[in-house]
Amino acid sequence: MKAELCTTVVCHECSNHVHLPALKPRQKALCPRCGFVLTKHTKDSFQKLMAFAISAFIFLALSMPFKFLGFSASGQEQSIGIISGLNVLVEQDYLFLAIIQMLSIVILPAIVLVGLIAVVIPIQLNKEVPYAKRTLDLVYALIPWSMAEIFLIGVLVSLIKISSMADITMGLSFYAYIGFTLCMSATVLYTDKHQLYLSATKEHHSSHPLNRSQSIQRTWALLITSIILYIPANLLPIMNTRFLGANEPSTILGGVLLLWESGSYPIALIIFIASVIVPIGKLVILIWLNYTVQNGMDKKHSERIFWYRVTEFIGRWSMVDVFVVAILVSLIQLGNTMTILPGPASIAFCGVVILTMLAAMTFDTRLIWTDTAVKHE
């Protein structure tokens, strides 16, 4: 990819018009007002993107047909693949969790990869890209919902939680999925939005028109619903463990305390941060941001955009606890000896994560800077 000629672009996060110079390799252009990364120049980025995208797709395909994890305890064995694990959730009448997991770890990442490959191949061949804008719009809308790396962390947390009570084996699909996750992350790393739109459509990517009242109202609606769902998510059991015929329900905080008392301090901290600190912190920050733009606050622009980016980055990681429950339920089905079932809080908590992510997307960061002739702070 060649460095583009000097051009003027509009920052998507603050609507500032920025004059972009030609970039050298390893250089990136930042918005002087809000610090948003407008574009970056990586040598042979399209070739690298293609290589990682194709590799990721191959690894994803290889992770489907083989055993993913195996579990044995008290002479009984259970093994699952990625697809068969979803069947267990469906059999337990938790179709919603199965759909969310299938979409976020298989279907949506696959669509992202196919979309990028379909756009980059014609660019490399110097041909017109059919439906380029629609394809790229879809790709960038789905990237935040592609959660392969979060699922993999959930798998590792699950293995640590049950390693003391059973023997765990990893199948070929497990290692293939690790390869997929690494290649998928590298693909996203080499995906430059500005350069892709410019090369595929010969135009700069443009944001949708600013609608102040719509953004504020929708954000409030999503945040209020998230708060309502967060109450049952913490009060109701997130999973039920049946051990030798006895049923033991576990809430989010109860599970954290159990891990802490058993000496699994790092895992307890991960679950506590992802399931308690992150959702509460994200809700508080988004409520503050939406309140400030609704009341026309004309200061702390850099501070507010910083905290928005924090919520945008950390919000997805709360799905770790949802994936942990889904994995344990799929894996541990040994009848009266030991069985784990999902609790109603798992659906409520999943709803909290999804709605807070939607609230962050609905909140228009340009409102922080609207009608303000601010200088770079």
Residue with tokens 């110097």: 126
Asked, for residue 331, whether it belongs to a domain, the answer is: yes
Asked, for residue 68, whether it belongs to a domain, the answer is: yes
Q: Are residues 157 and 241 in the same domain?
A: no
**Among 349, 170, 160, which residue's Cα sits nearest to residue 267?**
160
Q: Are residues 6 and 82 in the same domain?
A: no
Residue at which a domain ends, from 161, 187, 206: 206
Residue 269 belongs to domain with CATH number: 1.20.140
- Report how far Cα 94 is from the mean position of its chain's Cα atoms: 21
Q: Are residues 298 and 181 in the same domain?
A: no
Asked, for residue 229, whether it belongs to a domain, the answer is: yes
Rounded CA-CA distance 342/339 in Å is: 10
Tokens describing residue 245: 């015929």
Query: pLDDT in tens for each of the 377 residues of the chain?
Result: 444 445 788 888 888 888 888 888 888 888 888 888 888 888 888 899 999 999 999 999 999 999 998 887 667 777 888 988 888 888 888 888 899 999 999 999 999 999 999 999 998 888 888 888 899 999 999 999 999 999 999 998 888 877 777 778 899 999 999 999 999 999 999 898 888 888 888 776 666 667 788 889 999 999 999 999 999 999 999 888 877 667 778 888 888 887 788 777 888 888 888 888 999 999 999 999 999 999 888 888 889 999 999 998 888 888 988 898 888 888 877 666 677 888 889 999 999 999 999 999 999 888 988 754 333 34
Rounded CA-CA distance 98/91 in Å is: 10
Is the backbone of residue 356 left (phi > 0), alpha (psi -120 to 50) or beta? alpha
Tokens describing residue 138: 């879809």
Q: Are residues 111 and 12 in the same domain?
A: no
CA distances from 142 to 206, 243, 256, 319 (A): 18, 40, 31, 16
Asked, for residue 377, whether it belongs to a domain, the answer is: no
Asked, for residue 275, whether it belongs to a domain, the answer is: yes
Q: Are residues 240 and 345 in the same domain?
A: yes
DSSP E strands in 109-245: the ranges are 167-170, 239-243
End-to-end Cα, the chain, rounded Å: 33
Residue with tokens 């619903």: 225
DSSP E strands in 165-237: the ranges are 167-170
Residue 333 DSSP class = B
Contact predicate 76/334, CB 8 Å: yes
The tally of domains found in the chain comes to 3
Q: Are residues 118 and 261 in the same domain?
A: no
DSSP string, 102-134: HIIIIIHHHHHHHHHHHHHHHHHTT---TTHHH
Instruction: Give me the sign of the Cα torsion angle 269, 270, 271, 275.
Output: positive
- Report how far Cα 28 is from the mean position of its chain's Cα atoms: 24
**Within a 13 Å sphere around the CA of 318, how many CA atoms are in the beta-carbon half?**
28
Q: Are residues 157 and 81 in the same domain?
A: yes
Residue 94's domain comprises 45-206
Residue at which a domain ends, from 155, 187, 206: 206
pLDDT tens column, 123-177 = 888 888 888 889 999 999 999 999 999 999 999 888 887 777 777 889 999 999 9
DSSP string, 62-109: HTSSS--EEEEETTEEEEE-HHHHHHHHHHTT-HHHHHHHHIIIIIHH
What's the pTM value of the predicted model, to 2 decimals? 0.87
